[in-house]
Amino acid sequence: MIKKILIANRGEIAIRIIRTCKEMNIKTVAVYSLVDKFSLHVQLADESICIGNSLNKLSYLNINNIISSALITNSDAIHPGYGFLSENNQFVQMCEKYNIKFIGPTSVIINKIGNKFNAKKIINKIKINTIPGSTKAIKSIQDGINISKKIGFPIILKASYGGGGKGMKIVKNEKEFKKSWEGAKLESKRNFNNDDIYLEKFIEIHKHIEIQIIKSKKKIYYLLERDCSIQKKYQKIIEETPSPYINNYTRNKIINATIKCIDYLEYEGIGTIEFILDKNNIFYFIEINPRIQVEHAITEEITGIDIIKLQIIIICNEDIQIKNFFYSKLHAIECRINAENIKNKFYPSIGKVESLHIPGGHGIRVDTHIYNNYKITYHYDSMILKIIASSYSRKNSIFKIKRALKELKIKGIETTILFHIKLINDKNFIDGNIDTRFIKKFLLK
């Protein structure tokens, strides 16, 4: 069994990993940038080590410094969390070179699927629908325009080695291409240390469905689906499981496609297969995320499974025995709360958390890294907290999340709490009349 894990991340996911490690009696090492010196994950870990300046490329994307930190602290393994280096094949190869367990897929698998258009090529071979688009990284603006004309505008630009909505831009026509291209490359480089971009046909009316999988040496487990259709600028705002918008026939088809993907890839560990459903309920493969997802907590709440723990167990070559969840008696909803000013176009809000009251009660879970007097800076993602409500029905989960949002109090900074309260109270949300255009329509009311 692993004795010490270095966590190559920050914020709430670093704390989430530390908690599971403590329950498994595994020592933890927190890495931090200069501005994160007083972060909660640093205080909760058994050891901590500074890895550089506040800029991502000098700290949380600095492969050499993170590997050196693992060696100095005699860490057996590295957990990458999500974002940053979690899908970086060079980082995985460095872990393998220095005999440090990477808590995730091998470099061989990451090489296949970490690059999004490579993954699409593989999935095309097993005849699962993929969205028309480029088959490799676009090398020039003119190449991108030519491909866009061939498949037809609108198109969407995406980061080849990223996720979480970073580096994604919709392009409606040729005139918009250059500005969107430059913005997508800059954002991708800043967040993933790689500016490769690819493009796809933009399907406007759709739902976003993902399947959580766990693959041991002997069996594939699927833990239902998560619906992530409520998004703002391609970043998920509200997620729920199971999806209230698909029937068992569609669910079964998506699960079968997921199993087919995992089998063909010889994937091992935890991961998420993402699909979109168009207005005709035809589903298309988007990508495979070979890591933990931000929204993994809602799956944990309806299954009672610690997904981080399973990641660690699988990497230690131990077998697992759980059941597949085609149906759950519970329903869970997650709201991602950001430090943003909703009156100023959701511009990031920085400053000191003067006071904080966390909601509680049966069926409420809060994952966060902020605390009283915590200072929020402009350096990192604006998500500061996740509220998860779970209950025996969707209707009751909505009641619970409403109550929790009203009970949550954060003073000193601007947040999206009131925005979430309005979303949850919207009749279209309550009735399940939702697709990825929901936020756009909601903001126009």
Which residues does the annotation mark as catalytic?
291
8 A C-beta contact, residue 236 and residue 294:
yes
Helix, strand, coil shares of the chain, percent, nearest 5, are 35, 25, 35
Burial 36-69 (b: 16+ CB within 10 A, else e): beebbbbebbebbbbbbeeebeebbbbbebbbeb
Residue 373 is classified by DSSP as: T
Inter-residue long-range contacts of 96-102, CB under 8 Å, 24+ positions, other chains counted: 98/67, 98/70, 98/71, 100/67, 100/70, 100/71, 100/75, 100/76, 101/2, 101/76, 101/77, 101/315, 101/316, 102/77, 102/78, 102/315
| Integer angstrom CA distances of residue 231 from 9, 134, 346 | 24, 24, 13
Residue 183 CB-density burial (10 A; 0-12 exposed, 13-18 middle, 19+ buried)? middle
Helix, strand, or coil here: 334? strand
- Nearest Cα residue to 87 out of 242, 16, 182, 192: 192
In angstroms, the CA 271 to CA 80 distance is: 13
CA Rg value for the chain? 21
8 A C-beta contact, residue 80 and residue 9:
yes
| Integer angstrom CA distances of residue 393 from 302, 342, 386, 389, 444 | 11, 30, 20, 11, 30
